[in-house]
Amino acid sequence: MQAQQTLKGAIHCTGVGLHSGAKVSMTLRPAAPDTGIVFLRADVPADRAEIRARWDMVVDTRLCTVIGNAHGITVGTIEHLMAALRGLGVDNCVVSLDGAEVPIMDGSAAPFVFLIECAGLIEQSATRKVVRVLKPVIVADGDKSAALRPAAQFSFGMEIDFASAAISHQRGQLRLAGGAFKAEVSRARTFGFLHEVEAMRKAGLARGGSLDNAVVVSGDRVLNEGGLRYRDEFVRHKILDAVGDLYLAGGAILGHFHGVKTGHALNNRLLHALFADAEAWTWDHGASLTGGERVDDEQRRLAYA
């Protein structure tokens, strides 16, 4: 039986919100067994501050995942942090912020992986719970789809297709074992298109976006001076997003996820569909989130061929 894990101690960072452009300070703190992931807004009254990181608390999915509580208090752009917590096997954590958005840092999950590793992890007295998929669940919107199927592993597949030759058609697979999250997708950055920036900013989005925290594509070119971190960084980031979005299930999902041109909205619809069908899932106890099968370099190479 695998034990739940939390941080050994608190750790802090400061950055800007991708969409708000506002400076925000964030502290990750240890939490008691069975707490799950909880966000606390330090800038609002304590009786209104708590927001649980759960699929049914999602209130907006425009270019990021936003959760909110009954008091109208929200926290946005949580997906990269959620992915890092899931990827490193953190079951319980309190995330305290003095603003309405998780700092974007460099646009990937790598800074959060670094913070979690610096804080360290400790096993707890409670047994880990995961959500085991019992039958296929699929949601679709035109040519976009997201699906969960029964599997003995925690695994993710993704296909994307963009008109820009800088991206084009990409596909990838991630099996969450043996440190694969950190090695294979954690450094993949969020991305956007230069021609969409003005419209996004008019909508109150991407005000903190820059070449320092996003891959920017103009036509068929990547504008970032250093280029890409991975040849297929775009699909890897989409997998990263899905890892974070699906961790809103209230536990890791034991099954195979496959997305085709999916995003935050469809990922959340998939969780709604899963939990609406009592025959599609069950709680399973004791599964390892980060250990298990070894994933070697050859398997990683083939996954992104």
* Catalytic residue from among 12, 264, 272, 285: 264
Written as six digits, the tokens of 2 are 């695998």
Nearest to 134 by CA among 278, 246, 281, 256: 281
Distance CA 105, CA 64 (A): 15
Whether 169 is a known active-site residue: answer no
Q: In what order do the strands lie in the sheet with 215-218?
A: 191-193, 215-218, 221-222
- Catalytic residue numbers read 264
